[in-house]
Amino acid sequence: MGTAETYQQITKKMDGPWRVRPEAGNRVGMLQEILRWMGHPESKLRVIHIVGTNGKGSTGVMLAKILVTAGYKVGHFSTPAILNDREVITTNGDMISEADFVSSYKRVLEEVTAHGGDEDTLSKFEWWTLVALDYFARKEMDFVILEAGVGGLRDATNVIEKPLVVAFTKISYDHVGLLGNDLLEIAQDKAGAIKPGASIVNYPGQDIEVYHLLHDKAEEVGAIWNPNPKPVITIVQSSPSGLVLNADQFEGLKLSLTGAYQANNLSTVLQIVTVLKSRGFEIKDVDVAEALAHVKIQGRMEFDAERNILYDGAHNPDGIISLVASIRSWHLPFKPVVVLGLLKGKNYHDMLEELLPHVDTVIAVTPDSDRAMSADELAAKIVMMSNVDVEIADDPSAAITLARRVRESSEALILVTGSFYTLRAIESEGM
């Protein structure tokens, strides 16, 4: 049987929900036990653990690009994937090969089965986390950027006992009920990633109560709160193709990611760079500037200039607010046409309330997920809330064509958003 078939067989067996249900409790201890059976591959890694609600992907990609440009070997674990699940695990920007995935998977499975478990013992996210840690250790990465999936305390990525840095992106409302019923309960769960001896970096503009919660947790466990002042970042120019910023010693810094909110994500990244330099790692300013001018991230304010399409995986009210703020800052001549797909269980009302006043027409689609809200259901909700025109795309391949047909002008932006699974549904059709 060929490697590709073996990989396909393995991933087909995992083809279910990414995570276990909350009633399963905290499984981090179980995962750490599996790693112990494997000889603790994670202990060989310098881990930068990124935790938060919004901005983890952008922060991780910018940091990875800077470290690679500075000459380091960098492993990056980031979910969700857009087109290929192997996007979740990369080294210096390259996806894990099918053969390497199979090799690491078998290493994990061997220990699981030797101790009475089987393929169903772990969730998909848990499998991918352990595979990533084994793979990064075998490849002898200089740094590993590990993005939490959901929360912090009970997230599979929290198996790391001695992270070098724990960086918090913006913490806001998402997975309400699963992580907590209010912002501080959600933040308390995420604060569970703070470990003794780790340097703690915090997002600028974090809610003040969340800030104090994180700071107090760091003091309680003996972590090192980053004492350095946050970079002062000013946006000089903003367009769909990127930003020009001034950031402390960097004047006219070009960032190839768009969206005004990236300034705060960049501040988090520059704080991490400062911490790493204080720990003796060499990262030159020229490396930072070169990396940021060429960084790309699939599905997060990803602009296709040739077709005037913007892809963004905003999937909660905060994400939509940031997206709308960016679009408004561009002073576009026409309101965009939006290809929109949402998941059930999300705060769709607040998302739609923020988005609908700023769009011309909505093309409702069904995301590529077993948790998808159907296009028909989404369209009905929009009609109840707004007078905006709504069309339904029967399948993803029709969505962009339909958007082109109904937009006011060929110069009008087409925006694809609502969930990373919406982007997967659209882009997998070759759009």
Three-state secondary structure string covering the chain: CCHHHHHHHHHHHCCCCCCCCHHHCCCHHHHHHHHHHCCCHHHHCCEEEEECCECHHHHHHHHHHHHHHCCCCEEEECCCCCCCHHHHEEECCEECCHHHHHHHHHHHHHHHHHCCCCHHHCCHHHHHHHHHHHHHHHCCCCEEEEECCCCCCCCHHHHCCCCCEEEECECCCCCECCCECCHHHHHHHHHHHCCCCCEEEECCCCCHHHHHHHHHHHHHHCCEECCCCCCCEEEEEEECCEEEEEECCEEEEEECCCCCCHHHHHHHHHHHHHHHHHCCCCCCHHHHHHHHHHCCCCCCCEEECCCCEEECCCCCHHHHHHHHHHHHHCCCCCCCEEEECCECCCCHHHHHHHHHHHCCEEEECCCCCCCECCHHHHHHHHHHHCCCEEEECCCHHHHHHHHHHHCCCCCCCEEEECCHHHHHHHHCCCC
| pLDDT at residue 369 is higher than 90 | no
Per-residue confidence band for 17, with pLDDT thresholds at 50, 70 and 90: low
Residue, of 173 and 315, whose pLDDT is higher: 315
Find the mean pLDDT for residues 290-308. Answer: 92
CA 358 from chain center: how many Å? 25
Q: What does the pLDDT look like over 221-233, one tens digit per residue?
A: 999 999 878 888 9
The two tokens of residue 236 are 């000089």
Confidence at residue 385, expressed as pLDDT on a 0 to 100 scale = 96
To the nearest whole number, what is the mean pLDDT of the chain? Answer: 92
Confidence at residue 24, expressed as pLDDT on a 0 to 100 scale = 64
> Do 178 and 150 meet the contact criterion of CB atoms below 8 Å apart?
yes
In percent, the amount of the chain with pLDDT more than 70 equals 94
Per-residue confidence band for 159, with pLDDT thresholds at 50, 70 and 90: very high
Per-residue confidence band for 23, with pLDDT thresholds at 50, 70 and 90: low
How far apart, in Å, are the Cα atoms of 168 and each of 72, 123, 265, 266, 315? 23, 25, 10, 12, 19
The two tokens of residue 355 are 């988005």
| pLDDT at residue 402 is higher than 90 | yes
Q: Which domains can be identified in the chain, with CATH numbers? A: 7-293 (3.40.1190.10), 302-430 (3.90.190.20)
| pLDDT at residue 104 is higher than 90 | yes
Candidates 183, 247, 181; CA nearest to 214 is 183
The two tokens of residue 81 are 């994937």
Distance, in Å, from the CA atom of 150 to the CA atom of 281, rounded to the nearest integer, reads: 30
- Max alpha carbon distance in the chain (Å)? 63
Distance, in Å, from the CA atom of 193 to the CA atom of 343, rounded to the nearest integer, reads: 27
The two tokens of residue 166 are 């724990």
Per-residue confidence band for 247, with pLDDT thresholds at 50, 70 and 90: very high
Per-residue confidence band for 431, with pLDDT thresholds at 50, 70 and 90: very low
Confidence at residue 20, expressed as pLDDT on a 0 to 100 scale = 58
How far apart, in Å, are the Cα atoms of 251 and each of 39, 170, 254, 310? 47, 25, 9, 27
Strand order in the sheet with 337-340: 302-304, 309-311, 414-417, 337-340, 361-364, 389-392
Least confident of 69-78, 98-107, 312-321: 312-321
Confidence at residue 368, expressed as pLDDT on a 0 to 100 scale = 83
Distance, in Å, from the CA atom of 119 to the CA atom of 112, rounded to the nearest integer, reads: 8
Per-residue confidence band for 410, with pLDDT thresholds at 50, 70 and 90: confident
Find the mean pLDDT for residues 65-81. Answer: 97
CA dihedral 174, 177, 182, 185 (to 10 degrees): -100
Alpha-carbon Rg for the chain in angstroms = 21
Confidence at residue 2, expressed as pLDDT on a 0 to 100 scale = 47
Per-residue confidence band for 376, with pLDDT thresholds at 50, 70 and 90: very high
Per-residue confidence band for 1, with pLDDT thresholds at 50, 70 and 90: very low
Residue found under tokens 């809610």: 207
Find the mean pLDDT for residues 271-289. Answer: 98
Least confident of 67-71, 95-99, 315-319: 315-319
> Do 147 and 155 meet the contact criterion of CB atoms below 8 Å apart?
no
What distance, in Å, lies between the first and last C-alpha atoms of the chain? 33
> Do 64 and 145 meet the contact criterion of CB atoms below 8 Å apart?
yes
Distance, in Å, from the CA atom of 366 to the CA atom of 397, rounded to the nearest integer, reads: 11
| pLDDT at residue 198 is higher than 80 | yes
pTM of the model as a whole:
0.86
Distance, in Å, from the CA atom of 221 to the CA atom of 217, rounded to the nearest integer, reads: 6
Per-residue confidence band for 93, with pLDDT thresholds at 50, 70 and 90: very high
CA 389-329-295 angle, 5° bins:
105
